[in-house]
Amino acid sequence: MITMKRVRKTYPNGVQALNGMNIHIDKGEFVYVVGPSGAGKTTFIKLMIRELKPSEGLIQINGNNLGDLSDKQIPYLRRKIGVVFQDFKLFTKLSVYENIAFALEVIEEEPEQIKTKVMDVLDIVGLKSKARFNTSELSGGEKQRIAIARAIVNQPAILIADEPTGNLDPETAWSIMGTLEEINNRGTTIVMATHNSHIVNTLKKRVIAIENGKVVRDELGGSYGYQA
Partner 1 sequence: MAIKRKTLTRHGREGFKNIRRNGWMSFASMSAVAIMLFVVGAFAFLIVNTNHLIDTIENDVEIRAFFEHDVDASEQESVLEEVESHDSVENVVYRDRDEGLDVFMESMGSDGEVFENLREENPLNDALIIQATDPQMTAAVAEEVNAQSAIESVEYGESILGQLFTVTNYVRILGGALVIGLIFTSVFLISNTIKLTILSRKDEIQIMKLVGATNSFVRFPFFIEGALIGLIGAIIPIAGLTVGYSYLYSFMYDQVPFFTFVEPNPMIWQISGLLLLVSILVGIFGSQMSVRKFLKV
Ligand X SMILES: Nc1ncnc2c1ncn2[C@@H]1O[C@H](COP(=O)(O)OP(=O)(O)O)[C@@H](O)[C@H]1O
24 binding partner 1? (CB under 8 A): no
- The single residue among 25, 29, 30, 42 that binds ligand X, judged by CB under 6 A, is 42
Distance CA 69, CA 54 (A): 13
Question: Residue 91 or residue 226: which is nearer to partner 1 going by CB?
Answer: 91
- The single residue among 38, 67, 140, 187 that binds ligand X, judged by CB under 6 A, is 38
* Residue 12: Cβ-neighbour burial (10 angstroms; 0-12, 13-18, 19+): exposed
17 binding ligand X? (CB under 6 A): yes
170 binding partner 1? (CB under 8 A): no
Site for ligand X in 108-137 (CB under 6 A): none
CA 46 from chain centre, in angstroms, equals 10
Residue 2 contacts by C-beta under 8 Å, 6 or more apart in sequence? 23, 24, 25, 48, 60, 61, 158, 189, 191
CB under 5 to 8 A by kind: which of partner 1, Mg ion, ligand X, none does 39 bind?
ligand X
Q: Tell me, by CB under 8 A, how many residues bind partner 1.
A: 23
- The single residue among 7, 21, 23, 43 that binds ligand X, judged by CB under 6 A, is 43
Distance CA 90, CA 169 (A): 20
CB of 78 to partner 1, least distance (A): 4
Interface map 74-103 toward partner 1 (x if CB under 8 A):
-xx-xx---x-x---xxxxx--------xx
Interface map 37-76 toward partner 1 (x if CB under 8 A):
------------x-x--------------------x--xx
Contact 41, 211 (CB under 8 A): no
216 binding ligand X? (CB under 6 A): no
Question: Residue 89 or residue 186: which is nearer to Mg ion going by CB?
Answer: 89
106 binding partner 1? (CB under 8 A): yes
Contacts with ligand X, residue ranges (CB under 6 A): 11, 13, 15, 17, 35, 37-43
Contacts with partner 1, residue ranges (CB under 8 A): 49, 51, 72, 75-76, 78-79, 83, 85, 89-93, 102-103, 105-108, 110-111, 150
